[in-house]
């Protein structure tokens, strides 16, 4: 039974049909909420709220887009509303990078970069990789919401660009540009933190 048939049965009050829709799309819904909120607990709540809202709005589902796209759009709007009202989430997203050494962040990042570009599988490599991943994560979180949302949703692998465009209410080309621009901004900021100097040695 496809989504449209399940939606039709759910609209007639079949809770089991709606339960089947929940099972099918809960991971995609949860990940979209997680991309917007960054917190598993908040994403879980937002996902539940999204399904509740979708159930109430089932009558407004016209079938112009797929049920998944429609559901993801509701989820995204729900999560964005939650993100706007939750200042603690915003503070976590834009938290400043903590310095790791008295010598400064630039020196620390440069040492990590140097360890990564070397070929030897030293024990420091793993720690350096984790540190670089942390730096990239921080830079992703520092992005503007438009660039960050596009990048995270696109790289999640759970959504097509069309679905991302529906969620973010932007054309396909705009979504692709935002993903590319997000990468460029992160690269530039990493170089500003000293990675570029190491790379050119």
Residue 51 half-sphere exposure toward CB, CA atoms < 13 A: 21
Specify the DSSP element, H or E, that contains 190: helix 172-192
Window of 93-101, 103-111, 148-156, 166-174 that interacts with another protein by CB under 8 A = 148-156
Window of 64-72, 81-89, 104-112, 181-189 that interacts with another protein by CB under 8 A = 181-189
Euclidean distance between CA atoms 148 and 195, whole angstroms: 21
From candidates 55, 58, 146, 161, binder to another protein by CB under 8 A? 55
Which residues 6+ apart lie within 8 Å of 198 measured at CB? 110, 113, 114, 117
Number of continuous H segments (helices) and E segments (strands) in the chain: 11, 0
Q: Decide if residue 161 touches another protein (CB under 8 A).
A: no
Euclidean distance between CA atoms 99 and 119, whole angstroms: 26
Nearest partner of 7 among 55, 73, 40, judged by Cα: 55
Q: How many residues of this chain interact with another protein, rule: CB under 8 A?
A: 42
Q: Decide if residue 105 touches another protein (CB under 8 A).
A: no
Pick between residue 4 and residue 117 the one whose CB is nearest to another protein: 117
Q: Decide if residue 38 touches another protein (CB under 8 A).
A: yes
Pick between residue 25 and residue 108 the one whose CB is nearest to another protein: 25
Q: What is the DSSP string of 124-145?
A: HHHHHHHHHHHHHHHHHHHS-H
Euclidean distance between CA atoms 139 and 37, whole angstroms: 16
Rounded least distance, CB 169 to another protein, Å: 19
Window of 16-24, 61-69, 71-79, 97-105 that interacts with another protein by CB under 8 A = 16-24
From candidates 122, 144, 155, 192, binder to another protein by CB under 8 A? 155
Residues forming contacts to another protein in the complex (CB under 8 A) are 15, 18-19, 22-23, 26-27, 30-32, 34-35, 38, 40-41, 43-44, 47-48, 51-52, 55, 116-117, 132-133, 136-137, 140, 151-158, 183, 186-187, 190, 199
């Amino acid at each position: 039974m496809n989504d449209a048939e399940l939606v039709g049965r759910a609209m007639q009050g079949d809770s089991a049909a709606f339960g089947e829709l929940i099972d099918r799309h809960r991971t995609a819904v949860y990940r979209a909420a997680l991309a917007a909120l960054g917190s598993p607990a908040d994403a879980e709540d937002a996902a539940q709220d999204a399904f509740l809202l979708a159930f109430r709005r089932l009558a407004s589902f016209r079938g112009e887009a797929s049920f998944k796209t429609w559901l993801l759009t509701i989820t995204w709007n729900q999560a964005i509303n939650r993100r706007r009202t939750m200042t603690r989430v915003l503070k976590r997203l834009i938290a400043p990078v903590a310095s790791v050494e008295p010598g400064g962040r630039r020196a620390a990042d440069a040492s990590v970069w140097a360890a990564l570009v070397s070929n030897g599988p030293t024990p420091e490599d793993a720690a350096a990789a984790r540190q670089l991943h942390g730096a990239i994560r921080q830079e992703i979180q520092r992005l503007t919401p438009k660039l960050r949302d596009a990048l995270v949703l696109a790289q999640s692998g759970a959504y097509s660009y069309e679905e991302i465009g529906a969620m973010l209410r932007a054309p396909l080309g705009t979504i692709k540009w935002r993903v590319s621009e997000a990468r460029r901004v992160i690269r530039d900021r990493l170089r500003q933190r000293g990675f570029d100097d190491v790379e050119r040695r």
